[in-house]
Amino acid sequence: MIYLLVVLYALCYQLQSPLEPFLVERLVGSEGEAASSYARLQSLFSAVQTLGSLCFGLLLDKFGVRVGFIVNFLCCALTYYLLSICDSIEILYLSKLPGLGMAGFLCAQMAVTNLTEEGNERIVALGRLTTSYTIGGILGPYLGGQLGASGNYTIGASYATIGSVCAAILVCCLPGKINNTIEKYGKQQQKATQKAKDSWFAAVSKLLYLVGLLLFAKVVTSVANSMSASAQPLILKNSLGFDEASMGSFMSVKFASGGVTNGFLLGYIARLMGGHMRVVVRNCIAAMAVGYLVQAACYSEVLGNAVFGAGNLPTSGVIFAAPFLGLSFLMSMFQFSLATSITAESTSIVPSEYKGTLLGLEHSLFAVARVFGPAAGISVLQAAGISGLSLACFSIFAAVYAIWVSFSPPVWKKKKT
């Protein structure tokens, strides 16, 4: 049931994602102003989610997963309803405010960590959770793109509103034990009943001490990923000539490539590397850095002129688009694996009574990255093109890799009780 709820959550959200750049351009009118408005829209939603994730972590610790899911889907329904009646840029901005309570994946992560043992079991479960989101992420953009091809850029939101209300009703089918934390010791199972007695600030301080490096890696790499992700629809639309349907298809395939890795390969990778998630994290950071560096080289005017000859550098067609599309698919695998590995490792380190607060903090920091990432990414894209944007993202991942290698301990030490 948890996986089904995540599929519905992702499906409803992704129905509108390939259409939003076209909707913004229709409401604003100018292509240049539309790009800036689109970046501000993404930043506003991320700012709202920054505060919302912190509140949701506390809500989950106090009221449990079932209440969290209901609040999430009702906020989703309100967001999509406002979007479905959107006829001005002001209403489009207003539709982002209920995002304060949109935290479906956070709820699902809390449920999974409550019901699984730390280690490989949790890694596999979190990977399948990402795969569930991927299923919605595959269907949503494709269906949204097909619906939007008619020129109606809000029709997907109407269906998403209905889907979110149905998901809120399905929450009632979740088992009662979903709110219980289960820790396994040998053949015995014990339920953690201790309540957090520390203040919120004391709890956050403790979490930063325990998993500060993990959170640092996630938030800083998220800045680079948000720069790239926010600029990607504009690259597809303006540089590669994608229409509504083809953009939806691309987003679906990209989600699929990342989801397959998490659903079927992440547990194997963890075992292959000795079960230490820090190794997986390090290698994913390195792979992302190399990917962005290769992408920067592929779209470098200097390198292009050397290969094709001055004045003969392709600016369209298959040769121009292939490196961007191929590398985007490849890097999405490492991006999904990096995020899942960090969550799996951090939830195994912190005390169980702080898991909700940890996941809320993690999602909040991720949202902070997306407050600044879109504007920065689109600005760099407009100033330096695809190559400049890729080089900026490479620099961020390279810096994080250097810090990780310098400060990561040989083995994360888990608390024993």
Tokens of 285: 């950071």
- State the pLDDT at residue 414: 44
pLDDT tens readout for residues 112-161? 877 776 666 676 777 777 778 878 877 887 788 788 777 778 888 888 99
CA distance linking residue 35 with residue 38, whole number of Å:
5
What integer pLDDT is reported at residue 73 of this predicted model? 93
pLDDT confidence tier of residue 183, bands split at 50, 70 and 90: very low
Within a domain: residue 412? no
- Rounded distance between C-alpha atoms, residue 203 and residue 404, angstroms: 24
73 compared with 226, residue with greater pLDDT: 73
Residue 99 lies in a domain: yes
pLDDT tens digits, one per residue of 384-412: 888 899 999 999 999 999 999 888 776 44
SS3 call for 72:
helix
Residue 77 in domain: yes
Residue 191 inside a domain? The answer is no
Would 184 be classed as within a structural domain?
Answer: no
Q: How far apart are CA 191 and CA 217, in angstroms?
A: 31
DSSP letter, residue 102: -
pLDDT digits (tens, 9 = 90+) for 362-389: 877 777 777 777 778 888 888 888 889 9
Percentage of the chain modeled with pLDDT above 90: 10
DSSP conformation class of 399: H
Closest to 98 measured CA to CA, from 70, 76, 81: 76
For residue 76, what pLDDT is reported?
Answer: 92
pLDDT score recorded for residue 364: 78
Both tokens assigned to 234: 């504009």
Q: How confident is the model at residue 187 (pLDDT cuts 50, 70, 90)?
A: very low
pLDDT of the residue at 392: 93
Residue 268 has pLDDT above 70, yes or no: no
Given a cut of 70, is residue 307 above it in pLDDT? no
**What average pLDDT does the structure give for the chain?**
77
* Cα(323)–Cα(239) distance, integer angstroms: 13
Structural domain contains residue 286: yes
Is residue 164 included in any domain, yes or no? yes
Count of structural domains within the chain: 1
Q: Which of 100-104, 233-237, 399-403 has the highest mean pLDDT?
A: 399-403
Which pLDDT value is given to residue 236?
A: 80
At 328, which CATH number? 1.20.1250.20
Q: Computed from CA positions of residues 403, 341, 186, 359, in that sequence, does the dihedral angle turn out positive or negative?
A: positive
Asked whether the beta carbons of 41 and 346 are under 8 A apart, the reply is no
Mean pLDDT on 328-347: 79
Residue 331 near residue 288, CB atoms below 8 Å: yes
Range of the domain at 85: 2-179+199-407
State yes or no: pLDDT of 98 exceeds 70.
yes
pLDDT value for 303: 59
One-letter-per-residue 3-state SS of 362-394: HHHHHHHHHHHHHHHHHHHHHHHHHHHHHHHHH
Q: What is the pLDDT of residue 302?
A: 60
What is the per-residue pLDDT for 108? 85
In a domain, 401, yes or no: yes
| CA pair distance 224, 136, nearest whole angstrom | 24
Which range among 159-168, 181-190, 239-248, 274-283 shows the weakest confidence by mean pLDDT? 181-190
DSSP strand E in 6-151: where? none
3-state secondary structure 48-61: HHHHHHHHHHHHHH
Task: Report which of residues 326 and 117 the model is more confident about.
Answer: 326
Dihedral angle over CA of 245, 250, 252, 254, nearest 10: -170
Backbone angles phi, psi at 274, to 5 degrees: 90, 5
